[in-house]
Amino acid sequence: MRLSRFFLPVLKETPADAQIVSHRLMLRAGMIRQEAAGVYSWLPLGFRVLKKIEQIVREEQDRAGAIELLMPTLQPADLWRESGRYDGYGKEMLRIVDRHERDLLYGPTNEEMITAIFRSYCRSYKDLPKILYHIQWKFRDEIRPRFGVMRGREFLMKDSYSFDLDEASARRAYNRMFVAYLNTFDRLGLKAVPMRADTGPIGGDLSHEFIILAETGESEVFCDSALVDMGAPGLDVDFEGDLQPLVDARTSLYAATEEMHEADRFASEVPEERRLSARGIEVGHIFYFGTKYSEPLGANVTHPDGKDRPVHMGSYGVGVSRLLGAIIEAHHDEAGCIWPESVAPFGVGIINLKPGDADTDAACQSAYDALVKAGKDPLLDDTNERPGGKFATMDLIGVPWQLIIGPRGLKEGKVEIKRRATGERFEASLESALSQLT
Ligand code: ATP
Ligand code: MG
Ligand code: MG
Ligand code: MG
């Protein structure tokens, strides 16, 4: 992409109403635009990152054996009357009436609809187990939408739903998602800590929130710091094998959100130097809820003994759009975003210090062509902005590598490479710079 042809509405001033750094940077870097409270347009730069995050989430769901489909954003109210949640959900649900006076709603989540899909087609233990998921926009009429995409009203969620014969099998599905989430967040450059979460009236120990530690997080959390230092299981995990040891290694260490926190257990189980109390951002939430929806909705399966019983279910959410904010909260400095390479909107930024200078233009063009060919998705700043402005923009949008090319350096056969994350700069010939970047 050439910056002169791109659409990058960078703001010079810091937006006054944005309270946290990720929101400020997303507005300043021209990634999002607010259209209504908690409702955003995704401008090209933000959209690129959103798509990359979505794709990583998708790949790890697929690797764990989940199957993608797509349900609509609109749902009939009757489905929610069947589960008994229509009245109880309250004001967070956006209710809509169509021209035929039929009640619809903009889905805040999809347990009812996926259960209805399942019950139409799956009747036998032979159809199990199954994990189905989609990545779709949700709407929750949050009382206080804030912090940009962190707490929007319209937001992108990945939600998976598991279907199993019994609790033991459902636990295996739960473990798949548990491990897939650790790998997903790791690929996104995040350290997500699984924390025991409230299971509500169903009880049991099968609910975890995945939390990114950040000062601006909305939840108060308490955990053993060993959990933060533990690496992800890795992409070579055998999802058909026994995942319980990987899960146990983490769930045996203390980690709880405010609602689940037990101060005396925390003090007795965690050595003092490892007691971490911090704030965190909920980026994922997994839940086993048994037959809570399959019973009222009549999603039964015939067991090998010939008897019909309600299917055991779980649901597993990831806040895809919230993740942009969370990643920026974890990776930024005063100058702007510092994207992990896996989600960066562009792989390399080429800065042409003197457009119009024939040698510089030619060197930039050949660098651009080589980087495109290598699949590095370069952004070439070919505008007439001053060099200082170009450096600032490239830093602000957080491209991981910068290739700086100008007439003075070229005379000595040199260009400059800058690594955004560390600020390190070094000189090299164009040829060797390109071989390092490709
Ligand atoms: P929160 O506690 O932040 O309100 P939640 O517990 O209500 O979230 P879940 O129902 O568990 O959310 O939904 C799954 C995931 O969707 C959450 O873990 C979060 O990452 C994301 N999410 C929920 N609400 C929002 C929102 N308003 N804006 C952006 N992402 C959201
Ligand atoms: Mg909520
Ligand atoms: Mg929550
Ligand atoms: Mg939650």
Q: What are 23-42's pLDDT values in tens digits?
A: 999 999 999 999 999 999 99
pLDDT of residue 203: 66
Q: What CA dihedral angle connects 44, 40, 334 and 13, to 10 degrees?
A: 90
Distances (CA, A) of 231 to 38, 167, 192, 226: 34, 28, 10, 10
User: Quick one: CA dihedral 192, 193, 194, 197, positive or negative?
Assistant: negative
* pLDDT at 399 > cutoff 70: yes
Ligand that comes closest to the CA of residue 157? 1
* pLDDT at 285 > cutoff 70: yes
Q: Using alpha carbons, select from 88, 70, 182 the residue that is nearest to residue 135.
A: 70
Q: Which of 142, 156, 157, 257 should be mutated for ligand 1, with most atoms under 8 A from CB?
A: 157
Ligand 1 atom with the shortest distance to the CA of 159: 14
- Across-strand partners of 314? 162, 288
> Residue with the nearest Cα to atom 25 of ligand 1?
151
State mean pLDDT over 123-145: 97
- Tens of pLDDT, residue by residue over 218-257, are 999 999 999 999 999 999 999 999 999 999 999 999 999 9
157 in contact with ligand 1, CB cutoff 6 A: yes
State mean pLDDT over 263-278: 96
Judged on CB neighbours under 10 Å (0-12, 13-18, 19+), 392 is middle
In whole angstroms, give the CA distance from residue 155 to residue 138: 5
pLDDT of residue 158: 98
Instruction: Give me ligand 1 centre to Cα 290, in Å.
Output: 21
pLDDT of residue 199: 79
- Tens of pLDDT, residue by residue over 98-124, are 999 999 999 999 999 999 999 999 999
DSSP state of 228: H
pLDDT of residue 67: 98
317 in contact with ligand 1, CB cutoff 6 A: yes
Ligand that comes closest to the CA of residue 259? 3
> Residue with the nearest Cα to atom 11 of ligand 1?
285
Instruction: Give me ligand 3 centre to Cα 93, in Å.
Output: 16
Q: Which of 198, 322, 324 should be mutated for ligand 1, with most atoms under 8 A from CB?
A: 322
All residues at 6 or more sequence positions from 236 whose CB lies less than 8 Å from its CB, including other chains: none
Q: Which amino acid is at 351?
A: I
Q: Provide the mean pLDDT of the chain.
A: 96
User: Quick one: CA dihedral 229, 199, 319, 14, positive or negative?
Assistant: negative
State mean pLDDT over 44-72: 98
Distances (CA, A) of 125 to 128, 339, 415: 5, 45, 64
The ipTM of this complex is 0.99
* pLDDT at 202 > cutoff 70: no
pLDDT of residue 200: 73
Q: Using alpha carbons, select from 350, 327, 372 the residue that is nearest to residue 430.
A: 350
Two structure tokens written together for 37: 């409270």
In whole angstroms, give the CA distance from residue 370 to residue 374: 6
282 in contact with ligand 1, CB cutoff 6 A: yes
All residues at 6 or more sequence positions from 234 whose CB lies less than 8 Å from its CB, including other chains: 183
Q: What percent of the chain has pLDDT over 70?
A: 99
State mean pLDDT over 372-376: 98
* pLDDT at 280 > cutoff 70: yes
DSSP state of 374: T
185 in contact with ligand 1, CB cutoff 6 A: no
**With bands split at pLDDT 50, 70 and 90, how would you rate the model's confidence at 59?**
very high
Please tell me the pTM assigned to this model.
Answer: 0.97
pLDDT of residue 168: 97
CB 48 within 8 A of CB 63: no
Q: Which of 196, 282, 321, 327 should be mutated for ligand 1, with most atoms under 8 A from CB?
A: 282
Instruction: Give me ligand 1 centre to Cα 264, in Å.
Output: 29
Instruction: Give me ligand 2 centre to Cα 144, in Å.
Output: 10
195 in contact with ligand 1, CB cutoff 6 A: no
